[in-house]
Chain A
């Protein structure tokens, strides 16, 4: 048992609270609602209330005098007059449990609250003032934390002398240092945050900062820590009681009742051992359940399974089937596919064809669609640019092709991806695995976190090869070296032995590229491979990509929001907005004769296009959240050419000339594409 707060998962609390307050309903109400959503929490609260009643009213609600002995009726099994039976002295067990509740409740409240109250100023001062004082206080706290809590509690309680009060004192002493650390940690975290820095610089007094800024943020972790400590306090008190250090017989406590039953009835009436133990366990369970729920409710929003409301209990068979299906579909490392129809493959089949892809996420607020009916293709040796503002769905589209989105929460709701004519959404995990990294590779947006910090560069390169080809170590090593050479990393031999944290961002992205190309894939998806890098490194990286593409005759999907880069290295371009493709065609076509106002806006926003001296153009407004996609044309709130029809009519993607004689020169999603005269990049 642990008398120290378990702080896992407490960190994001502060951040979430601010989000919660931004919502319309009061955060406290939302918290209560989230708490009560789980049946277990409701049960826990109900049980705690029951115990609270017993603790408050004690003998008044007890059916018998808890200390009245009745030798004639000793060891009675449960009956109407003694629902839990009687002990070896004929005392009513239920009544004794009821008066024992007072001890447990009192101890848990008293110790935790007192310990929290003592720890709060220590942690605040230590964290906020820092320096020598912090050093000294934390040394002391660390020394106290080194003691196994139960041993310390026994020693302290024993030396102070038997009795409930001394046990409470002992438990409090043991709890203080853990809480102090917790408070200090949250104080430190908040202190570093900019708003505290800011208010300090305008000269807010320290006391005000502590009470107005830091305290509110320390509160949540402390409350969660304390609520999880209640259970530990009960366990400790019952343990000390069991050992005879707390409540002295004949007065009852749960721990000493258990002890009495153990000493006197183990062989003759073992059923007597169940009641006091079960009550202790239930009490701790209730406290822990409540603490866990509180933590979950306060911390970052988690994925919650969407309830199927229309399920009926008598449809047991359907429920079972649905459950089995879900078990089969949700598998780590492979996005679930829930489509009903399978779109046909185009003929002739290009290297990659994405057909009517729709993606959904199960979130706490329900199911949201983030990619909606997206189709595009990549021919062999071709470079396709996938562009759009942040949040338009480029990354999730790319990840869906690789089936790398986690399920839950992601699901492929519609569509197909044909890679060399094979429907990737129909493949098993092992079939998909054989393609990933071998024929279809991906480089991710964030080079800093995409390499495993625990393994060397060389290990991660060799692994990429050995997953797909049976080669010996020496060959793998040679190939790894070669690849580092190819992506122009100096001193490759030495780099092989280094860990990711020893490399710069640009170097790491080159390593990622080397890993992706290790097995000579046919198609590379590069998701903003340069965005996280600084400008000069970006240029080098792009040069490298371009030369490698030619050298290896790679097909590439190049995801970016930089149209300048698209003009530089892409053959064709697909523009995404709010989860849809809004325009698609060759780079020359789209750039010189854009047919869709969003594309025009993106082109105008290019630094390369803007005339010198002009302020850089920005498209007004923001990309809407997938939950708030507007009806009609999704771009209409931001569009300069909007007409009434745009707000209500469904706008579909019209096929360009290669899709037979369409009205537009390439694929466009705009009601007014024919009539508008939009400005290109020249």
Chain B
């Protein structure tokens, strides 16, 4: 198991190099002369253009620029915002926990609803619950999260006035108020998670419930609970965990729009402001953090995979 983890982490190194290069190379997408565009386009002053050119070392080759950027990134320095002049790293450090909290809450909603739904519909494919849940989950993966968020705002905040329509209170300031503010965005994001998770779990469980070893367990006189919880779920979890990690990576990305709608001061609004103003260091920093989060999740999934699958663990 130790070697498995070590091997996984080692394999991550070349991937990280490639990924970070892709993040950096985003700057190449900027149309026209990057220094002009980044300095403000048409109304850029020559001084400002020179300044940007200097700051981003745009005169060097792209690989030299990359090396410099990566060197800084490894030491925790992602440069400064071109406009706010603040350090990207500390900006992100401030906002990331908020986003992760939201993503965590959404994942919680996803698991809370998705797992039981997946299990129940797999128990009786084409049964009443399954038909209903298939309908529900098809809707769930089709409804845009941002629209669902807006509908939730209309219903719960504007009409019923149960929850605040926007804003944010840090968890450590007041956990209850935090929950009030995070509930709607978490449900808006978690619905998609729950729907896709339950579909994946249903498919995996139906496959596993059809296997010979599950038949052996019935033949022993096992109860439904024993079959599902012990024999089927553990095996069905093997493919699902991988997919779940992938989806959670996506989920973190999807917080961007939802944060914008609820004006939650996380990574989303910060990222979007940077995107519309060509604030390249911020864009690179945020994208890098999002990729890293996704990579960490998928690595965790691989390690969990090893725990669940003795063929990987014992060999």
Contacts and interface: CB of A to CB of B under 8 A. Distances in A.
Interface string A207-242: 000000000000000000000000100010011001
- The SS class assigned to the B binding surface is helix
A366 interface: no
Contacts of A289: 138
A441 B147 contact: no
A433 B256 contact: no
A575 to B, nearest CB: 25
A140 B224 CA distance: 45
A270 B158 contact: yes
Contacts of A152: 253, 287
Contacts of B217: 452
Contacts of A303: 125-126
Contact of A146 (B15, B216, B254): B15
Interface in A107-153: 139-140, 142-144, 146-152
B212 interface: yes
A464 B150 CA distance: 53
A292 B203 CA distance: 13
A148 B15 contact: no
A287 to B, nearest CB: 8
A1 interface: yes
A530 B187 CA distance: 54
B252 interface: yes
B128 A327 contact: yes
A435 B221 contact: yes
Contact of A281 (B143, B210, B231): B143
A147 B151 contact: no
Interface in B149-193: 150-151, 153-154, 158-159, 165, 192
A80 interface: no
Nearest to A333: B218
Given A149-B253, A243-B272, A332 B150 contact: no
Interface residues of B, number: 87
Given A239-B144, A292-B138, A330 B221 contact: no
Interface stretch (A82-90, A155-163, A307-315, A556-564): A155-163
Contact of B221 (A235, A267, A434, A498): A434
A146 B14 CA distance: 13
Contacts of B257: 150, 239, 242-243
Contacts of A273: 147, 150-151, 154
B77 interface: no
B8 interface: no
Contacts of B290: 147-148, 151
A6 B159 CA distance: 37
B222 A433 contact: yes
A33 to B, nearest CB: 20
A332 B227 contact: yes
Contacts of A161: 31
Interface string B118-142: 0000011111100000000011011
Contacts of A151: 253, 256, 271, 286-287, 290
A156 B26 contact: yes
A438 interface: yes
Given A284-B144, A454-B234, A147 B139 contact: no
A280 interface: yes
A437 B220 contact: yes
Given A144-B22, A258-B146, A452-B235, A468 B221 contact: yes
Given A146-B291, A158-B276, A277-B144, A436 B283 contact: no
A141 B25 CA distance: 16
B275 A515 contact: no
A444 B212 contact: yes
B257 to A, nearest CB: 6
Contacts of B218: 333, 404, 436
A154 B272 contact: yes
Nearest to A242: B146
Nearest to B209: A332
A682 B313 CA distance: 55
B196 A2 contact: yes
A281 to B, nearest CB: 5
Nearest to B153: A266
A332 B295 contact: no
A438 B221 CA distance: 8
A239 B235 CA distance: 36
A8 interface: yes
Contacts of B278: 158-159
Contacts of B18: 139-140, 142-143
Contact of A449 (B15, B31, B213, B222): B213
A144 B280 CA distance: 19
Interface string B216-243: 1111111110110011001100000000
B7 interface: no
B302 interface: no
A513 B59 CA distance: 76
B220 A515 contact: yes
Interface stretch (B43-51, B78-86, B304-312): B304-312
Interface in B1-43: 14-15, 18-19, 22, 26-27, 29-31
B145 interface: yes
A143 B15 contact: yes
Contacts of A146: 15, 19, 249, 291, 294-295, 298
Contacts of B159: 270
B254 A449 contact: no
A444 B200 CA distance: 29
A394 to B, nearest CB: 16
A668 interface: no
B181 to A, nearest CB: 17
Contacts of A438: 221
Nearest to A239: B257
A436 B216 CA distance: 10
A150 B227 CA distance: 39
A144 B294 CA distance: 12
Nearest to A240: B257
A523 interface: no
Contacts of B275: 154-155, 158-159, 245
B19 A159 contact: no
A404 B210 CA distance: 11
Contacts of A304: 126
B198 interface: no
Contact of A463 (B158, B220, B253): B220
B220 A160 contact: no
Contacts of B142: 231, 281-282, 284-285, 288
B68 interface: no
Contact of B141 (A280, A282, A288, A452): A288
B91 interface: no
Interface string A315-356: 000000001000100111100000000000000000000000
Interface string A496-518: 00110110000000001001100
A303 B196 CA distance: 23
Contact of B224 (A149, A267, A332, A516): A332
B90 interface: no
Interface in A155-204: 155-156, 158-161
Nearest to A258: B147
A159 B29 contact: yes
Given A258-B147, A404-B218, A143 B310 contact: no
Interface string B54-67: 00000000000000
Contacts of A231: 142
B15 A451 contact: no
A262 interface: yes
Contact of A330 (B124, B144, B150, B272): B124
A9 interface: yes
12 contacts: A1-B192, A2-B250, A152-B253, A155-B287, A158-B275, A273-B154, A285-B142, A305-B126, A323-B128, A433-B221, A437-B221, A450-B213
Given A8-B203, A281-B142, 5 more contacts: A146-B298, A155-B287, A433-B222, A454-B309, A499-B311
